[in-house]
Amino acid sequence: MDSIHELDRLRKKWMKLEDELQNDLNQGISEEEFLVKDQICQAVHKEWQNFLFKHKKDIFLKVENEK
């Protein structure tokens, strides 16, 4: 899997977790459940950021080549 697809996969995973967390908040989850799910969401976001930072040059070059 190339870096752009992996970055997109991580972004989608992160956004899905954020949406689920928002839905859970609307449903009235406990503070403990919220904290656990929020930590998971933050961990996936951090994974996305780290991947982007690690592969930014490769991603930039691929995007530029597609123009």
Q: Please say whether the beta carbons of 66 and 2 come within 8 A.
A: no
Half-sphere exposure of 30 (CA within 13 A, CB side): 3
Residue range 8-21: mean pLDDT, rounded: 95
- Tell me, what's the pLDDT at 66? 76
Reported as a single tens digit per residue, the pLDDT across 51-66 is 999 988 887 877 777 7
- Tell me, what's the pLDDT at 22? 94
Q: How much of the chain, in percent, has pLDDT values that exceed 90?
A: 66
- Tell me, what's the pLDDT at 1? 57
- Tell me, what's the pLDDT at 46? 96
DSSP string across 20-37:
HHHHHHHHT--HHHHHHH
CA 53 to chain centre: 13
